[in-house]
Amino acid sequence: MRRIKPKRGPEAIGPYSPAVEKGGMLFISGQIPVDPETGTVVKGIEPATRRIFENVKIILKEAGYSLQDVVKVTVYLKNLKDFEVFNQVYAEYLGDVKPARTTVEVSSLPKGVEIEMDFIAVK
């Protein structure tokens, strides 16, 4: 198993790896919208979703993958009323790839964020 810890990506906020690779599969831990340069949380569902995708692109690149390799995404939203706006941004990043996806509404997320996403990519 290879641990992926990008030089420019956000730090993990607990005792876990940002991503691990094994057997041609990359598992990216839940990502929240934290600006990796400032450490601040990005607010608002549209900019928060974009921040997560930009952070994930950093992790994927470091591991030798791209968004085209994503096969599964799990999305945790604090409010399903944000689903439409989220979906528009999601389609910009993954619309052509169309990976499998699960979206659930949750009562709370780390650091009070509105969204968290985790990813699986396969070579």
Lowest mean pLDDT among 11-25, 28-42, 45-59, 84-98: 11-25
- Could you state, in order of their start, the residue ranges of all structural domains in the chain? 2-122
Amino acid at 108: S
> Domain 2-122 falls in which CATH fold?
60s Ribosomal Protein L30; Chain: A; (3.30.1330)
Q: Can you tell me which residue has the tokens 């790839």?
A: 97
Q: What's the mean pLDDT in 90-94? A: 97
Judge whether residue 27 has pLDDT over 90: yes
pLDDT in tens, 43-89: 999 999 999 999 999 999 999 999 999 999 999 999 999 999 999 99
- pLDDT confidence of residue 12: 72
- Mean per-residue pLDDT for 28-40? 94
